[in-house]
Amino acid sequence: MKILVTGANGLVGRALCALLDDRGIPVRAAVRSASPISPGLDCVGIGSIDGQTCWSCALAGTNTVVHLAARVHVMNEAAADPLAEFRRVNVLGTLNLARQAAAAGLQRFVFVSSVKVNGELTQAGQAFSESDSPSPEDHYGISKWEAEQGLLQIARETGLQVVIIRPPLVYGPGVKANFAALMCAVQRGWPLPLGAVNNQRSLVALDNLVDFIALCVVHPDAVNQVFLISDGKDVSIAGLIRGIALAAGVPARLWPVPLWVLQAAGHLTRRSEVVQRLCSNLQVDISKAQKVLGWKPVISLSEGLHRAFKGR
């Protein structure tokens, strides 16, 4: 068995390749250009991903694809039609790869999608589940949902075994963007006005996600299933900041500013979306993954945060 991992030089891809290699599972890493990720790792350059990408060399000798490569949130979007750009990579590119994999006789296609397919927020105590009607709001979520639908159609037509995983925010060694900025702010002792926010958010540690992906590569009951995944314990933004501070060995500097004040400030500064992401609920129910696959998180939130800091 040899696994083709796309997006292998990203946060999740590097960790997954290392995990599979540690378990003695042969891996081929697909990256934009064939620069080595780690010594001895089989790498192949595939260029840009869209509906015309040729995957024959990357697929040769493999029997499973883990598709991580995607167009994600773009700062300072310059595309004239952003949704079309997301579809070009995340829909057409994904389905092109799946069709070529099926034609080459591969058995399984594991697709890492996003909780954004379900939506952007949940009501308190009402976690997303796999049976909920999808409600993507942004271009990224829409493109992931369309890719999921196309993959399941290909599975029906060809017999390709498809597994879909929808993670929430992933954190761990090497994490970037907003989570890295939050860790930096906490470590520097910046006062944060989030002490009164009692929301609940599902997160997934990098180690937990790649362990689950590796399980989906081989488990017979994962075939043609959709799974939501997380650390199994939700946390408020204030609790997350306290956890980050503990991992960093610094005090948590939290101001208990009322939620309505934060919302008003977000409106005035045109940062309402940022305030919503920080203060709203987004919970996922992982009971299906636990019951169907017998999976449980391999590390806790606390350990995940310590590893994130250690790997900076």
Catalytic residues: 140
282 near 276, Cβ under 8 Å?
Answer: no
| Percentages (nearest 5) of helix, strand, coil residues in the chain | 45, 15, 40
Look-up of token digits 């590569």: 217
Taking residue 123's Cβ as centre, other Cβ atoms within 10 Å add up to 9
Instruction: Give the residue from 88, 13, 17, 79 showing the smallest Cα distance to 52.
Output: 88
Give the CA distances from residue 194 to residues 100, 253, 261, 284, in Å, rounded to whole numbers and listed in that order: 48, 9, 11, 22
* CA pair distance 242, 298, nearest whole angstrom: 22
Alpha helices in the chain (DSSP H): 11-22, 56-59, 82-86, 94-103, 139-158, 177-187, 206-218, 237-248, 259-268, 272-279, 287-293, 301-310
Q: At what angle do helices 301-310 and 237-248 cross, to 10 degrees?
A: 50
Look-up of token digits 């939700």: 234
